[in-house]
Amino acid sequence: MKPHRLCMTHHLVLSYDLHQKMEIYRPHKAYPVELAQFHSADYVEFLHRITPDTQHLFSNELARYNLGEDCPVFENLFEFCQMYAGGTIDAARRLNNQLCDIAINWAGGLHHAKKCEASGFCYINDLVLGILELLKHHARVLYIDIDVHHGDGVEEAFYFTDRVMTVSFHKFGDLFFPGTGDVKEIGEREGKFYAINVPLKDGIDDTSFTRLFKTIISKVVETYLPGVIVLQCGADSLAGDRLGCFNLSIDGHAECVRFVKKFNLPLLVTGGGGYTKENVARCWTVETGVLLDTELPNDIPENEYIKYFAPDFSLKIPNGHIENLNSKSYLSTIKVQVLENLRYIQHAPSVQMQEVPPDFYIPDFDEDEQNPDERVDQHTQDKQIQRDDEYYDGDNDNDQNMDDV
């Protein structure tokens, strides 16, 4: 099996892993016109314009776009959206151009945002934008969501098409946010049976979750034959999350990532929810290792954030102790219903692929036009960092020992 080429979008440009070829890549900030490929232009423009200091002047617009409450306006809100959305868009483009086999954007995965409004601390739906990019090159995209909350924004965006199959495993019932995601929600028109929901109750554990996940995802891939997979890895499904109610350990959560990787399809991985921050960091660290086939030691090495991982300073967390309300009969009923719906898909839909539209023009930094007397912001400086496998003569020689990185 060929080694995976993996790129990770991040705020720094680093080097390669010794086990797998991994590039850490700085994405561009998404342009408003890119965000408007899914979101309404007026909503994007308002996000661009609103600030904490001016929000009191726009009470009607704040209500219309669902800003405030759990979607507050904060300083540099629009830049925040541009950064995480640009990461997912660039991850999709790198997969499309076969620059990597797996692309990760842990800052992405904001799956609740709708076309014309924010929802659940999600302002721009980077997942929808990334999937739209992937659809330029792939006839069928499979979206999988293991956040504790239903992936409603992504499902809604593709509810009427068979070109994207959405599969969400989430807590459902008891007025749990966002209140959607019943097993009966299956898509409509051309998208009928292409939305799959796996509604779960409090306390599901590793064994029950991973068994159900593997059974359903195996059948989905076998039936739908996707060309690429998008996996949203919300960490609020972990035990001990402040808003979650599942009993998953990091090993259980990561087992889902490991299973999806084994299909050897192009894979875009994002973050998502997670409200016990030290466990979010633990989880996505372990899952980066999984995607690199690298086992990490359980002892967290000394670093500037080590105090957050006291008292044991370990990478793994145990299962939770919430009562598991998911009986075997309940899970069996859900499984049977989902598999029955998949039977209505006789074969993967064929798509007449049109000419692939070009990527948006992304202006590059021009060294010749830089005034050396002007102060350069950090983002611009980072764009000038060369990869470690690029070499230059003389003053620009970038050859260096890997230990120095």
CA–CA separation, 130 and 230 (whole Å): 9
The one catalytic residue among 28, 39, 111, 112: 112
* Ramachandran angles phi, psi of 123, nearest 5°: -105, -45
Please tell me whether 391 is known to bind a ligand: no
Q: Is 48 assigned a catalytic role?
A: no
Give the three-class secondary structure for 62: helix
Q: 36 φ, ψ to 5°?
A: -80, 5
126 is in an annotated binding site: no
DSSP SS3 for 169:
strand
Q: Is 236 annotated as a binding residue?
A: yes
E strand or H helix at 209: helix 206-224
How, if at all, do strands 5-9 and 102-105 pair? parallel
E strands, 152-202, are 164-171, 195-200
CB-CB contact of 203 with 322 (8 Å): yes
The torsion of the CA quartet 304, 300, 251, 171, rounded to 10 degrees, works out to -30
- Shortest CA distance to 113 belongs to which of 121, 100, 122, 126? 122
Question: Containing H/E element for 330?
Answer: helix 328-343
Distances (CA, A) of 60 to 54, 55, 67: 13, 10, 10
Burial 286-299, CB ≥16 within 10 A → b, else e: bbbbbbbeeeeeee
Answer yes or no: is 90 a known binding residue: no
Question: How many beta carbons lie within 10 A of that of residue 31, not counting itself?
Answer: 17
Task: Count the residues in the chain.
Answer: 405
Contact 168, 187 (CB under 8 A): no
Render 82-96 in DSSP notation, one character per residue: HHHHHHHHHHHHHHH
Amino acid in the structure at residue 229:
I
> How far is it, in rounded angstroms, from Cα 183 to Cα 172?
10
**Residue 15 burial class via C-beta count within 10 angstroms: exposed 0-12, middle 13-18, buried 19 and up:** middle
Please enumerate, by residue number, every residue annotated as part of a binding site for substrate: 70, 120, 275
Please enumerate, by residue number, every residue annotated as part of a binding site for a divalent metal cation: 147, 149, 236
Catalytic residue numbers, as ranges: 112
Please enumerate, by residue number, every residue annotated as part of a binding site: 70, 120, 147, 149, 236, 275
